[in-house]
C-alpha cells in the first residue's frame, strides 16, 4: 500500500520585506508579499526524498490560510508534491496555534496519512509548537526537530542534534515529524515541475467540511491573545573597541557581558 505523506506548510509574509501588524494585531498580509515559509521548504524536500526512496508514495501538501496561500501550495507542487489541500474560511482570521492545530488535524484525518512532515517552525510566528500539538490531537507519536529522517519497514527514524548530544529516534507509523534547516537544502522547482503543478489537484475545504464550529477558531476562539505590539526600536550605534594592546580582552569582556561566552 502506498505511503501517504502529508506535509503541513504555512504561507508567510516575506521575511525580507517590511512586516507590520494590522489594527487588530494580526499579521498585515496586504503590506508585504507572501511565500511558502522557507523552513517548510525543508519539510517538502524531506518528504520528496522519503517518497523517492519508497516504492510507492503520495505526498499531499496542506495549508490553512487565505486565498493567496495557494501560492505556497503551488510552490510545493512545483517542487514535486502530488496534490494539495487548502483550508480557507473567513472565520479563520486571527486563529492561534491551538486553533490552527485543530484545523490541520481535522484536514489530515480527512486526507488520510501515514506520516505528517512539518518544518521546525514558521518564519513569522516562530513558535515551533504545531508538530507537537498535531501529534497530540492525532494521537500518534511525535519525532521532532530532526536533521536526518528516514522511513523503513513501517517506522520513521531520525537524528536530532542537540547542543551536547545527538539522539537517534524512532517511531512506529503513523507519526508526526518535524525537520530542521540542517536536514538538507530544498530543491528549486524545475520548469517541468512548474508546468506539471498546474495540472495537479488542489482540494479546497472550509470549516463546515471539517466539522469545525466557527467559535473554536478565529480571534474569538483563540486561547492566546496579543495585547499590544510595538515596532522594534531602531538599531543603536554599537560599541567600538579600539585596540591599544588590550583589544582582545575588551572584546571578550563585551561578549561575556552580553552572555555570548
Which is closer to other proteins, CB of 192 or CB of 249? 192
Exposed, middle or buried: residue 112 (CB in 10 Å: 0-12, 13-18, 19+)? Answer: exposed
Which is closer to other proteins, CB of 19 or CB of 187? 187
Sign of the Cα pseudo-torsion (55, 5, 14, 33, in order) = positive
Which is closer to other proteins, CB of 194 or CB of 219? 194
Which is closer to other proteins, CB of 192 or CB of 201? 192
Least Å from the CB of residue 35 to other proteins = 10
Which is closer to other proteins, CB of 26 or CB of 123? 123
Q: Which of 234, 199, 184, 208 is nearest to 47 (CA)?
A: 184
Contact code string over 77-106 relative to other proteins, x by CB under 8 A: -x----------------------------
Least Å from the CB of residue 187 to other proteins = 7
Least Å from the CB of residue 74 to other proteins = 8
How far is 151 from 34, CA to CA, in rounded Å? 32
Binds other proteins (CB under 8 A): choice among 166, 172, 190, 239: 190
Binds other proteins (CB under 8 A): choice among 1, 191, 199, 234: 191
Instruction: Tell me, letter by letter, the H, E, C secondary structure of 149-188.
Output: EEEECCEEEEEEECCCCEEEEEEECCEEEEECCCCCCCCC
Least Å from the CB of residue 21 to other proteins = 26
How far is 206 from 64, CA to CA, in rounded Å? 10
192 binds other proteins (CB under 8 A): yes
Which is closer to other proteins, CB of 20 or CB of 192? 192
Contact code string over 61-80 relative to other proteins, x by CB under 8 A: -------------x---x--
How far is 241 from 251, CA to CA, in rounded Å? 7
Which is closer to other proteins, CB of 6 or CB of 12? 12
- Whether 80 contacts 59, CB under 8 Å: yes
Q: Using the rule CB under 8 A, give the single segment among 44-52, 152-160, 191-199, 217-225 that binds other proteins.
A: 191-199
Instruction: Tell me, letter by letter, the H, E, C secondary structure of 190-250.
Output: CHHHHHHHCCCCEEEECCHHHCCCHHHCHHHHCCCCCCCCCCCCCCCCCCCCCCCCCHHHH
Residues in 130-189 at the binding interface with other proteins, rule: CB under 8 A: 187-189
Three-class secondary structure of residue 12 per DSSP:
strand
Take residue 92 and report the three cell numbers written for it. Answer: 479563520
Least Å from the CB of residue 170 to other proteins = 31
Position of cell 495540472?
199
List residues binding other proteins (CB under 8 A): 74, 78, 187-195, 198
Amino acid at each position: 500500500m502506498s505511503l501517504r505523506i502529508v506535509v503541513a506548510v504555512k504561507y508567510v509574509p516575506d521575511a525580507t520585506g517590511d512586516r507590520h501588524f494590522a489594527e487588530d494585531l494580526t499579521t498585515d498580509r496586504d503590506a508585504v508579499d507572501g511565500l511558502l515559509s522557507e523552513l517548510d521548504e525543508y519539510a517538502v524536500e524531506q518528504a520528496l526524498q522519503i517518497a523517492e526512496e519508497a516504492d510507492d508514495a503520495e505526498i499531499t501538501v496542506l495549508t490553512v490560510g487565505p486565498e493567496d496561500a495557494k501560492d505556497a501550495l503551488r510552490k510545493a507542487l512545483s517542487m514535486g508534491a502530488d496534490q494539495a489541500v487548502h483550508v480557507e474560511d473567513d472565520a479563520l482570521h486571527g486563529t492561534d496555534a491551538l486553533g490552527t492545530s485543530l484545523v490541520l488535524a481535522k484536514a489530515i484525518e480527512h486526507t488520510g496519512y501515514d506520516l505528517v512532515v512539518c518544518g521546525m517552525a514558521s518564519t513569522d510566528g516562530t513558535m515551533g509548537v504545531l508538530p507537537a500539538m498535531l501529534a497530540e490531537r492525532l494521537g500518534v507519536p511525535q519525532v521532532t526537530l530532526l536533521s536526518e529522517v528516514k522511513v523503513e519497514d513501517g517506522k520513521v527514524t531520525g537524528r536530532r542534534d542537540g547542543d551536547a548530544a545527538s539522539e537517534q529516534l524512532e517511531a512506529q507509523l503513523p507519526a508526526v515529524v518535524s525537520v530542521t534547516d540542517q536536514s538538507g537544502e530544498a530543491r528549486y522547482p524545475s520548469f517541468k515541475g512548474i508546468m506539471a503543478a498546474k495540472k495537479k489537484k488542489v482540494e479546497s475545504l472550509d470549516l463546515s467540511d471539517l466539522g469545525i464550529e466557527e467559535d473554536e477558531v478565529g480571534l474569538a476562539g483563540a486561547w492566546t491573545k496579543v495585547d499590544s505590539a510595538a515596532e522594534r526600536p531602531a538599531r543603536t550605534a554599537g560599541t567600538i573597541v579600539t585596540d591599544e594592546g588590550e583589544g582582545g580582552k575588551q572584546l571578550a569582556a563585551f561578549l561575556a557581558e552580553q552572555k555570548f561566552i
